[in-house]
């Protein structure tokens, strides 16, 4: 339940929406009156019968089943993880680029059902957001929910993305490179490099080798995978999914910062971060080299 002042702010936004205001005007009022957490609590609770006009303007939240299928969590538990990453993104973008996310042009690579895209409305208007995913099911879920912004399906091994070239200020790929094969990682980082602004920032997440012993399904093979991580800087186990160009591109992945530096000279590590809300992933912030 929202605190009383935030609940009043949401009611005021509902009144504004009922007057015929557009989504950008309503979002501007919500940004001015709600904290990030309160905004997130509103977003994950839509549609609401008592907020018919906001529910008509803003996207419907995915079901708990869909949330769990994509992330393993749902509801407020998942929101805490999401807010933790979004705060880290805003903080590190300001630290590296000395400006806020306000009205930044944003790309969500591997958007899934639009979990983090929805939180970007707190900072920038939907017209400034590009949400892409190679899975047609994910894009279908976003469309069915009325996700706002520029939504498009990308390739699994992209050479470019459906977004402006050298025009994106902030990119993020949350829990993407924790699952991609080497060729899929290579392709995605090369494609994103074409679309990021010269003074832009890309946020990705990577796993440490501890992941292999922490996940019960890899208990028998953890020692080999940890050794592979240490010697090669990259360990990948494919999942039994359809192949792309004859290769399994999706599974579980760990990699080192040294691997990123050595293999992707078009990118430079600007900062790293970590959060207790998501202990198995490290945030890595990359800028164009």
**pTM, 2 dp:** 0.96
Do residues 270 and 240 both lie within one domain? Answer: yes
Question: Which residues have a Cβ under 8 Å from the Cβ of 242 and sit 6 or more positions away?
Answer: none
Find the mean pLDDT for residues 128-136: 97
- What pLDDT does 228 receive? 97
Residue 32 shares a structural domain with residue 100: no
| Segment 141-197, tens digit of pLDDT | 999 999 999 999 999 999 999 999 999 999 999 999 999 999 999 999 999 999 999
What percentage of the chain exceeds 70 in pLDDT? 100
Listed as own residue / partner, the contacts of 220-224 with beta carbons closer than 8 Å and 24 or more positions apart are: none
| CATH code for position 208 | 3.40.50.150
Look at 32-46, 86-100, 239-253 and tell me which has the smallest mean pLDDT.
Answer: 239-253
- pLDDT, residue 280, reads 86
pLDDT of 30 strictly over 90: yes
Residues 36, 86: Cα–Cα separation, whole Å: 9
Return the pLDDT at 189: 98
Q: Does residue 226 register a pLDDT over 80? A: yes
Does the pLDDT value for residue 215 go beyond 80? Answer: yes
* Per-residue pLDDT at 240: 85
**Residues 12 and 93 grouped into a single domain:** no
As a whole number, mean pLDDT of residues 41-64 equals 98
The boundaries of the domain holding residue 31 are: 4-57
User: Looking at the DSSP assignment, which residues form a beta bridge with residue 173?
Assistant: 204
| Residues 99, 141 within the same domain | yes
Q: Which of 260, 286, 262, 289 is nearest to 273 (CA)?
A: 286
Q: Which residues pair with 206 in a beta bridge?
A: 282
pLDDT at residue 241 greater than cutoff 80: no
Is 135 in the same domain as 269? yes
Q: Look at residue 274 in the predicted model and tell me its pLDDT.
A: 95
pLDDT at 27 over 90: yes
The DSSP output letter for 112 is T
Q: Are residues 14 and 103 in the same domain?
A: no
Q: What is the pLDDT averaged over residues 74-96?
A: 97
Do 53 and 115 lie in one domain? The reply is: no
- pLDDT of 247 reads 82
Q: What is the pLDDT of residue 245?
A: 74
The yes-or-no verdict on residue 227 having pLDDT over 80 is yes
Residues 167 and 236 in one domain: yes
- Tell me how far CA of residue 171 lies from CA of 60, 90, 91, 162, 260, in angstroms: 24, 12, 14, 13, 17
Residue 94 has pLDDT above 80, yes or no: yes
11 and 92 share a domain?
no
| pLDDT > 90? residue 211 | yes
Instruction: Scan for tokens 């904290």, then name that residue.
Output: 35
Same domain for 273 and 192: yes
Q: Across 146-247, where does the E strand assignment appear?
A: 150-153, 168-173, 196-206, 234-238
Which residue, among 255, 240, 246, 249, has the nearest Cα to 158 in the 3D structure?
A: 249
Check: CB of residue 61 under 8 Å from CB of residue 82: no
The length of the chain, given as a count of residues: 289
Question: How far lies 143's CA from each of 23, 88, 140, 171, 285, in Å?
Answer: 17, 28, 5, 21, 29
Asked whether residue 53 falls in the same domain as residue 70, the answer is no
Total number of domains in the chain: 2
Task: Say yes or no: 85 and 207 in one domain.
Answer: yes
* Average model confidence (pLDDT) across the chain: 96
């Amino acid at each position: 339940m929202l605190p009383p002042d935030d609940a009043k702010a949401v009611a005021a936004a509902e009144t504004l929406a009922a007057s015929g205001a557009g989504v950008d005007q309503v979002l501007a009022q919500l940004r001015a009156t709600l904290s990030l957490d309160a905004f997130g609590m509103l977003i994950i609770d839509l549609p609401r019968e008592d907020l018919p006009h906001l529910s008509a303007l803003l996207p419907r939240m995915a079901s708990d089943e869909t949330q769990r299928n994509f992330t393993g969590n749902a509801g407020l538990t998942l929101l805490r993880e999401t807010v933790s990453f979004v705060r880290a993104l805003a903080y590190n973008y300001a630290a590296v680029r000395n400006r806020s996310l306000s009205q930044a042009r944003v790309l969500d690579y591997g958007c899934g059902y639009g979990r983090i895209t929805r939180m970007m409305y707190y900072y920038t208007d939907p017209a400034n957001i590009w949400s892409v995913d190679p899975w047609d099911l994910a894009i279908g879920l976003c469309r069915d929910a009325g996700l706002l912004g520029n939504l498009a399906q990308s390739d699994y091994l992209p050479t470019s993305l459906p977004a402006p070239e050298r025009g994106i200020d902030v990119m993020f790929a949350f829990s993407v490179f924790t699952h991609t094969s080497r060729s899929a990682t290579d392709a995605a980082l090369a494609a994103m490099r074409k679309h990021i602004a010269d003074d832009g920032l890309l946020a990705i997440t990577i796993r440490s080798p501890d992941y292999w012993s922490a996940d019960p399904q890899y208990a028998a093979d953890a020692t080999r995978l940890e050794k592979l991580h240490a010697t090669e800087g990259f360990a990948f186990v494919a999942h039994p999914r359809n192949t792309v160009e004859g290769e399994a591109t999706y599974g579980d992945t760990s990699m080192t910062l040294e691997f990123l530096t050595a293999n992707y000279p078009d990118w430079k590590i600007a900062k790293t971060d970590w959060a207790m809300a998501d202990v198995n992933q490290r945030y890595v912030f990359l800028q164009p080299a």
